[in-house]
Amino acid sequence: MDSMGMIIGTWLAGFLTLAILSFLYKDNPFYKLAEHLYVGVSAGYWLIYVAFFDIKPMLIDTFMSETGFEKWIILIPGALGLIMLSRWFPKIAWLSRWPIAFTVGIGAGLGITANLQGYVLPQVQATILPLTGFTVADLSNLILIIGVVTTLMYFYFSKPHKGLLGGGAKIGIVFIMVSFGASFGYTLMARISLLIGRLYFLFHDLLRILD
C-alpha cells in the first residue's frame, strides 16, 4: 500500500478508535456512527469470507473441477442451500425446514461425538492424576480432583442437595466462585491489554508521541 493510503488508513482508524472511546463520556452521534459502521462492515466482511472460503472452494470449484460422482453429489448441499432461501417466499417457506433439519442433524451428530471425544473423555482422563506422595504437586492434584468432583456434584440437580451430595455441593460452590473470580480477573486483564493496544496505536501510530 502506498504511503498516502497508509496515512489515510491510519487517520481513519484513529477517528474510529476515538469515536468508539467517546462512549465513555456518553452516548453520542460519533459513537452511533462508528457502531453502525462496525455492524455494516462486519456483515460485508463475513459475506465475502463465506463466499470466498466456503461457497467458492467447496461448491463452485468442486463442481467445476471434479468429474463423475463427485461432481454431481456436491449439488445436494447446493440445492439444500438454495432451498434454505425459500424463506423469502411465504408459500414454500416450510421447505426451509429441510436444510435446517440437515444442519441440526449435523450439529446433533457432532454434539455426541465431538463432546465425548473432545471434552468428556480428555477432561476425565486429565483429572485422573497420581496421588503418590505428600508433595505440593500431589496436594494440588488432590485439590484438582476434589474440585472437579464437587463441581459436578453442585450441578447435579436430580436429587436434593442433602447429606453427602449437599456437603459436596457446598465445597463445589467454593471452587466455582474461585473459578469465576479468576476468570473475571483474567478477562478484565485481556480487555485492558486490548485497550493498551488501542492507546498505543493512538499515541504511537497516529500522534507519533511514543517512539
- Binding to another protein (CB under 8 A): which residues in 62-91? 74, 76-78, 80-82, 84-85, 87-88
Give me the least distance between CB of 39 and another protein, in Å please.
5
SS3 assignment for the chain: CCHHHHHHHHHHHHHHHHHHHHHHCCCCHHHHHHHHHHHHHHHHHHHHHHHHHHHHHHHHHHHHHCCCHHHHHCHHHHHHHHHHHHHHCHHHHHHHHHHHHHHHHHHHHHHHHHHHHHHHHHHHHHHCCCCCCCCHHHHHHHHHHHHHHHHHHHCCCCCCCCHHHHHHHHHHHHHHHHHHHHHHHHHHHHHHHHHHHHHHHHHHHHCCCCC
Give me the least distance between CB of 95 and another protein, in Å please.
9
Decide: is 52 part of the binding site for another protein (CB under 8 A): yes
Restricting to residues 87-126, name those near another protein by CB under 8 A: 87-88, 94, 97-113, 115-120, 123-124, 126
Decide: is 30 part of the binding site for another protein (CB under 8 A): no
Give me the least distance between CB of 131 and another protein, in Å please.
14
Q: Binder to another protein among 28, 89, 131, 143 (CB under 8 A)?
A: 143
Rg (CA), the chain: 27
Give me the least distance between CB of 137 and another protein, in Å please.
10
Grid cell of 172 as nine digits: 463445589
Decide: is 28 part of the binding site for another protein (CB under 8 A): no
Q: Binder to another protein among 46, 72, 89, 203 (CB under 8 A)?
A: 46
Give me the least distance between CB of 64 and another protein, in Å please.
15
Restricting to residues 158-187, name those near another protein by CB under 8 A: 172-187
Decide: is 129 part of the binding site for another protein (CB under 8 A): no
Considering CB under 8 A, how many residues would be counted as binding another protein? 115
Decide: is 38 part of the binding site for another protein (CB under 8 A): yes
**CB of 180 or CB of 210, closer to another protein:** 180
Grid cell of 102 as nine digits: 440437515
Give me the least distance between CB of 78 and another protein, in Å please.
7
Which among 210, 195, 208 has a CA at the least distance from the CA of 17? 195
Question: How far is Cα 79 from Cα 73, in angstroms, rounded to an integer?
Answer: 10
